[in-house]
């Protein structure tokens, strides 16, 4: 068994099954991990915080693809990106008659502070066009389109969290499944893409698991268990 590195782990597609439910065995791994665990997600801030609380670990979180960073220990919340540009984007997008696509009670964006998520069933072209006008970029995680500031990602989040925790980004083991994990993969000492990973994450990772979704996560961390 090798010494356990701190872990930076994605949520959707990595800790979850194809049904989007977090796998209980993956939660056990996080609860028992003997080094810091950083939950890094495209989801809004309350989701990873709740995950950490229900798992029973100190919340150490990169949310909104790096737009929101929180290290529970140091009691500091850091925001990145350009929320005003995102607000202007959303106004222009709605003005053109488009919808974010999440229905009346928009749980994807209700607590979102630095970027906006658009349902994958909405057309891509107006997003790209209007994002560019507002100095923003669009990524497709396989779960949503995220319209975000270009200089902010899970990698900028990892740099900030690592410094706060007294580690280098290169000390971390990173596990993920999609384009929004490429930035952490590039910084981490070891990066693992689960078998369901998109082409971007698969290409950026040091290794790729045989198993998909949360079973892939369990396989990724097996050498350290
Ligand atoms: O919110 C998304 O689109 C994907 O979330 P994830 O980064 O936890 O996979
Ligand atoms: Mg993911």
**Domain boundary assignment for the chain:** 7-80+152-224, 83-148
User: Ligand 1: which of 8, 9, 10, 67 to mutate, most ligand atoms within 8 Å of CB?
Assistant: 10
Q: Pairing relation of β-strands 137-140 and 173-176?
A: unpaired
Residue 129: count of CB within 10 angstroms of its CB: 13
CATH topology of domain 7-80+152-224: Rossmann fold (3.40.50)
pLDDT tier, 3 (very low <50, low <70, confident <90, very high otherwise): confident
Burial class (CB in 10 A: 0-12, 13-18, 19+), 149: buried
**CA of residue 42 to ligand 1 center, whole Å:** 4
pLDDT tier, 83 (very low <50, low <70, confident <90, very high otherwise): very high
Residues in the chain: 225
User: What's the pLDDT at 203?
Assistant: 98
Residue 91 has pLDDT above 90, yes or no: yes
Residue 40 has pLDDT above 90, yes or no: yes
CATH architecture of 83-148: Alpha-Beta Complex (3.90)
Report the complex ipTM: 0.99
- CA atoms of 4 and 208, how far apart (whole Å): 19
Sequence ranges of the binding site for substrate: 154
User: What's the pLDDT at 155?
Assistant: 98
- Once rounded to an integer, what is the mean pLDDT over residues 193-208? 98
User: What's the pLDDT at 1?
Assistant: 61
Mean pLDDT score of the chain:
97
Is 153 annotated in the active site? no
Indicate which atom in ligand 1 lies nearest the CA of residue 154: 7
Residue 189: count of CB within 10 angstroms of its CB: 14
- Once rounded to an integer, what is the mean pLDDT over residues 188-207? 98
Using CA atoms, how far residue 196 sits from 16, 30, 121, 125, 141, in Å, is: 11, 21, 20, 26, 12
For 50-71, how does the pLDDT look when each residue is reduced to its tens digit (9 = 90+)? 999 999 999 999 999 999 999 9
């Amino acid at each position: 068994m090798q010494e356990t590195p701190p872990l930076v782990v994605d949520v959707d597609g990595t800790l979850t099954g194809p049904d989007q439910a977090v796998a209980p065995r993956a939660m056990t791994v996080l609860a028992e991990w003997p080094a810091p665990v950083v939950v890094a997600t495209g989801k809004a801030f309350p989701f990873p915080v709740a995950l950490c609380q229900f798992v029973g670990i100190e919340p150490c979180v990169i949310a909104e693809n790096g737009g929101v960073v929180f290290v529970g220990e140091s009691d500091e919340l850091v925001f990145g990106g350009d929320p005003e540009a995102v607000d202007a984007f959303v106004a222009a997008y709605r003005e053109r008659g488009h919808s974010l696509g999440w229905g009346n009670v928009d749980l994807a964006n209700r607590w979102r502070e630095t970027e906006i998520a658009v349902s994958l069933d909405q057309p891509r072209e107006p997003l790209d066009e209007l994002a560019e006008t507002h100095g923003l970029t669009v990524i497709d995680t396989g779960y949503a389109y995220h319209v975000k500031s270009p200089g902010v990602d899970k990698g900028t989040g990892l740099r900030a969290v690592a410094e706060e925790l007294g580690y280098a980004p290169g000390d971390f083991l990173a596990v993920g499944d999609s384009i929004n994990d490429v930035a952490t993969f590039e910084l981490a000492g070891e990066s693992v893409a689960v078998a369901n990973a998109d082409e971007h994450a698969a290409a950026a990772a040091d290794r790729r698991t045989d198993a998909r979704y949360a079973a892939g996560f369990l396989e990724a961390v097996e050498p350290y268990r």
